[in-house]
């Protein structure tokens, strides 16, 4: 019998001082790739971490389908992810964090969901999902409810940062304007995907706390930034000439 063609999946992971997490995550992803009908490559974009995350991953996974890009001059989460996206070769692109806030075991399910949708988003707030960090649950829930019910955002969790999308659909979006700043790229991604008429699947997942390293998020700054980006998307002032 003829073997089914494996789908080629590229996972883009931004890192900043994530040596412990990133090395465990990449090992896990390579295992998941082997155990599922997919041809998986990992693309790590490191912003010249002091703990040498980039160099460490590059050496540890030499000869595997892991490519590491170390940005010596540029900084910032959004542009780091775009740097990685541009260098992917897969038909499906997955975005996720390095710190296990995003459960790698969910990846095959996200990919499978692209059969009936154009964008599959992992969601902490869909039925069956959740998060361990109780300090963040309440503000995350309130803010997302506001986005969903008032500003008509398409998902219950519009800031998860964990998603799968087909290459041609991702590249049909204004990537340079989307992937700037910190985590607000995800707001732009779901909002613009909806505007383009893409079907969005929301897959529940439980987000555990990170075990190693530290969060780089500055929550108060993020709140005001996310609020302003959300309003600007709603008022069609966020993206020029799309
Ligand atoms: N390349 C790069 N990665 C970053 C930067 N800031 C954060 N990250 C990575 O982005 C992901 C999410 O960051 P994290 O601090 O866990 O955010 P939190 O989950 O909101 O607390 C992690 O994989 C970080 O290592 C950055 O400036 N550059
Ligand atoms: Mg995190």
User: Is-contact 70 55, C-beta < 8 A?
Assistant: yes
pLDDT of residue 162: 98
Please name each of the domains of the chain with its CATH number: 7-234 (3.90.550.10)
pLDDT of residue 2: 63
Q: Which of 15, 83, 205 to mutate to test the pocket of ligand 1 (most atoms within 8 A of CB)?
A: 15
Task: Output the average pLDDT for the chain.
Answer: 96
Q: State the distance from the centre of ligand 2 to the C-alpha of 3, rounded, in angstroms.
A: 38
pLDDT in tens, 43-99: 999 999 999 999 999 999 999 999 999 999 999 999 999 999 999 999 999 999 999
User: Is-contact 14 80, C-beta < 8 A?
Assistant: yes
Q: State the distance from the centre of ligand 1 to the C-alpha of 63, rounded, in angstroms.
A: 26
Residue nearest to atom 16 of ligand 1 (CA): 215
Which whole number is the average pLDDT over 135-149? 96
Q: State the distance from the centre of ligand 1 to the C-alpha of 47, rounded, in angstroms.
A: 10
Which whole number is the average pLDDT over 143-154? 98
pLDDT of residue 84: 98
Judged against a pLDDT cut of 70, whether residue 231 lies above it is answered with: yes
pTM exceeds cut of 0.85: yes
pLDDT of residue 5: 81
Ligand 1, pocket residues at CB < 6 Å: 14-16, 18, 45-47, 75-77, 80, 97-99, 101, 215-217
Over the Cα atoms of the chain, what is R_g?
A: 17
pLDDT in tens, 4-39: 689 999 999 999 999 999 999 999 999 999 999 999
Q: With b meaning 16 or more CB within 10 Å and e meaning fewer, what string describes 4-22?
A: eeebebbbbbbbbbbbbbb
Quote the crossing angle between the two packed helices 19-35 and 53-60, to the nearest 10°. Answer: 30
Among the atoms of ligand 1, which is closest to the Cα of residue 75? 27
Q: Which of 75, 76, 83, 97 to mutate to test the pocket of ligand 1 (most atoms within 8 A of CB)?
A: 97
Judged against a pLDDT cut of 80, whether residue 189 lies above it is answered with: yes
pLDDT in tens, 193-219: 999 999 999 999 999 999 999 999 999
Judged against a pLDDT cut of 70, whether residue 242 lies above it is answered with: no
Among the atoms of ligand 1, which is closest to the Cα of residue 101? 19
Q: Which of 99, 159, 216 to mutate to test the pocket of ligand 1 (most atoms within 8 A of CB)?
A: 216
Which whole number is the average pLDDT over 121-145? 96
Judged against a pLDDT cut of 70, whether residue 1 lies above it is answered with: no
* DSSP bridge partners of 15: 46
pLDDT of residue 240: 86
* DSSP bridge partners of 122: 203
């Amino acid at each position: 019998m003829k073997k089914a063609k494996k789908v080629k999946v590229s996972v883009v992971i931004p890192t900043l001082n994530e040596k412990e997490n990133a090395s465990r995550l990449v090992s896990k992803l390579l295992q998941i790739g082997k155990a599922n009908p997919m041809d998986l490559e990992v693309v790590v974009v490191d912003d010249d971490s002091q703990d040498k995350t980039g160099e460490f991953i590059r050496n540890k996974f030499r000869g595997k389908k892991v490519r590491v890009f170390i940005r010596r001059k540029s900084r910032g989460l959004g542009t780091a992810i775009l740097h990685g996206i541009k260098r992917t070769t897969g038909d499906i692109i997955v975005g996720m964090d390095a710190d296990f806030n995003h459960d790698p075991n969910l990846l095959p399910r996200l990919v499978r969901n692209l059969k009936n949708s154009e964008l599959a988003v992992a969601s902490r707030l869909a039925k069956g999902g959740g998060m361990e960090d109780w300090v963040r649950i309440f503000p995350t829930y309130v803010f997302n409810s506001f986005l969903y019910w008032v500003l008509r955002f398409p998902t219950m969790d519009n800031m998860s940062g964990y998603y799968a999308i087909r290459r041609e659909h991702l590249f049909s979006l204004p990537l340079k304007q989307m992937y700037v700043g910190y985590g607000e790229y995800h707001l732009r991604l779901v909002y613009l995907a909806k505007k383009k008429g893409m079907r969005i699947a929301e897959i529940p997942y439980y987000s555990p706390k990170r075990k190693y390293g530290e969060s780089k998020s500055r929550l108060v700054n993020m709140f005001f930034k996310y609020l302003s980006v959300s309003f600007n998307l709603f008022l069609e002032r966020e993206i020029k000439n799309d």
